[in-house]
């Protein structure tokens, strides 16, 4: 395991005890919790390229409560499923079961942190109890600013109700830690002023958590805005005084940069989000090869998606991030309808047989593949027609009139004189 060099590693200061099955966040570089981009194959890909820990996507407490835990012998995974309340059915009229969460105990279990979206201590404990035996930690989302998360007082909305957030963390520490022996952590954002941020961090560190991640942006800020790091040292110092590990998130591009930030601000580790969506090999140290080509990363990702029979729509979503938009392959993949078709487009012949098997298992029909090929042909045809049409139109138009070109027409006996030269 590649570990970051952290000044905290040699500190003799106070530390919150790490439970027997838990993990210490110190010296770690980790994958951030990302909805859609943080499903099982993406997490396995990050671990493959050197991530020390991975966060799963935020999962709302109500969606986990009442799920059924199933061991998937074929894939080697543990699946949490439930039947939807609206009664969706399969083609054979049997009730359709939804997959809520899938994890691989052997390949990620001891390095997987489950992030819960919640606004209620009791529900948080109920949801955590469902999955706690299969993960290395429970993290509370108090930083996501998007409406689907802040709805109902979850996510970044919890920053405005610090007493409720502390009550959630304390309930998890009191109920989950003794029973399952894993740690509890929280992910937050900066508040409006350094004073408010400091007050909140002190309150959170007093709840018994083992880790705190600070996203170095305020709630209204968007990812394109530069991360604010001026408060990092203050936050890291408070966490150190309380014995809580501190991770930083926001504009971390790779392992080398993470190591520099750890040294500069005294934090214990770093979390990567956007850069991992673009190229998961950002976790790999330069000594081990550094950043890999997108072709290599996409090949590894597709292999893992096929092995885990990942939902095709989710796979395609991340492929659209991993494949550069300027690549000719990007346009072809965007209209692909199956794993086998995508493998052909990308020239991954060694994956075509397992890709076809995965298509069959997850129910991708030959008709869908046919539609994908048809869409690809139509797209290429339309592009060719547009290009040809543009050229014809230019030829038909011919030369512009003199007045359109900034010239005035003279009498036939006089030469034309261009104006505004």
How far CA 54 is from CA of 85, 103, 234, in Å, comes to 31, 11, 26
Work out the pLDDT band at 416, boundaries 50, 70, 90: very low
pLDDT for 223 equals 87
The neighbouring-strand residues paired with 215 are 189, 249
Which among 144, 166, 216, 282 is annotated as catalytic? Answer: 144
DSSP codes, 72-124: ETTTTEEEEEE--TT--B-TTSPBPPEEEEEE-TTTTGGGEEEEEE-S-HHHH
pLDDT for 394 equals 47
Q: Which of 58-72, 90-104, 126-140 has the lowest mean pLDDT?
A: 90-104
- Give start-end residues of each CATH 3.20.20.70 domain in the chain: 7-291
Work out the pLDDT band at 388, boundaries 50, 70, 90: very low
Tens of pLDDT, residues 336-387: 999 999 999 999 999 999 999 999 999 997 555 545 455 555 555 554 444 4
pLDDT for 400 equals 45
Average the pLDDT over 1-14 and give the result: 48
Fold of 7-291: TIM Barrel (3.20.20)
Mention every residue, 6+ apart, whose C-beta is less than 8 A from residue 314: 36, 39
Tens of pLDDT, residues 203-214: 999 999 999 999
Residue holding tokens 């958590």? Answer: 209
Tens of pLDDT, residues 149-205: 898 899 999 999 999 999 999 999 999 999 999 999 999 999 999 999 999 999 999
pLDDT for 91 equals 54
- Quick check: 57 pLDDT over 60? yes
Work out the pLDDT band at 73, boundaries 50, 70, 90: very high
pLDDT for 151 equals 83
Mean pLDDT of the chain: 87
Tens of pLDDT, residues 287-345: 999 999 999 999 999 999 999 999 999 999 999 999 999 999 999 999 999 999 999 99
**Is 144 tagged catalytic?**
yes
Q: Please provide residue 109's backbone torsions phi and psi, each rounded to the nearest 5 degrees.
A: -50, -45
- Quick check: 145 pLDDT over 50? yes
296 phi-psi bin (left φ>0, alpha ψ -120 to 50, beta other): alpha
The neighbouring-strand residues paired with 214 are 188, 248
């Amino acid at each position: 395991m590649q570990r970051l060099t952290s000044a905290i590693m040699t500190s003799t200061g106070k530390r919150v005890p790490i439970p027997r099955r838990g993990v210490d966040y110190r010296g770690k570089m980790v994958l951030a919790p990302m909805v859609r981009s943080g499903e099982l194959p993406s997490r396995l890909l990050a671990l493959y390229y050197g991530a020390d820990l991975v966060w799963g996507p935020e999962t709302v407490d109500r969606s986990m409560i009442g799920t059924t835990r199933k061991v998937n012998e074929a894939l080697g995974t543990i699946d949490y499923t439930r039947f939807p309340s609206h009664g969706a059915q399969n083609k054979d009229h049997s009730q359709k079961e939804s997959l809520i969460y899938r994890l691989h105990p052997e390949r990620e279990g001891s390095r997987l942190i489950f992030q819960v979206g919640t606004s209620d201590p009791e529900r948080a404990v109920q949801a955590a109890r469902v999955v706690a035996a299969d993960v290395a930690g429970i993290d509370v989302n108090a930083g996501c600013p998007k409406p689907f998360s802040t709805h109902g007082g979850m996510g970044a909305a919890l920053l405005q109700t610090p007493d409720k957030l502390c009550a959630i963390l304390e309930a998890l520490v009191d109920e989950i830690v003794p029973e399952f022996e894993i740690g509890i952590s929280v992910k937050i954002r900066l508040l409006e002023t350094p004073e408010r941020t400091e007050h909140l961090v002190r309150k959170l560190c007093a709840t018994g958590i083992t880790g705190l991640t600070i996203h170095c942006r305020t709630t209204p800020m968007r990812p394109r805005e530069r991360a604010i790091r001026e408060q990092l040292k203050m936050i890291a110092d408070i966490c150190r005084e309380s014995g809580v590990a501190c991770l930083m998130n926001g504009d971390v591009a790779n392992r080398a940069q993470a190591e520099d930030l750890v040294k500069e601000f005294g934090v214990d580790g770093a979390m990567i989000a956007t850069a991992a969506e673009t190229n998961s090999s950002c976790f790999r140290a330069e000594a081990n090869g550094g950043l890999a080509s997108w072709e290599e990363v996409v090949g590894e990702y597709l292999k893992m998606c096929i092995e885990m029979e990942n939902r095709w729509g989710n796979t395609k979503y991340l492929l659209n991030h991993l494949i550069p938009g300027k690549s000719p392959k990007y346009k072809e993949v965007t209209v692909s309808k199956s794993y086998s078709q995508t493998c052909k487009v990308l020239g991954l012949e060694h994956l075509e047989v397992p890709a076809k098997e995965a298509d069959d298992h997850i129910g991708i029909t030959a008709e869908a593949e046919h539609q994908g090929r048809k869409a690809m042909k139509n797209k290429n045809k339309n592009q060719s027609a547009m290009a040809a049409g543009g050229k014809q139109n230019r030829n038909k138009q011919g030369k512009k009139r003199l007045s359109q070109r900034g010239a005035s027409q003279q009498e036939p006996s006089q030469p034309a004189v261009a104006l505004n030269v």
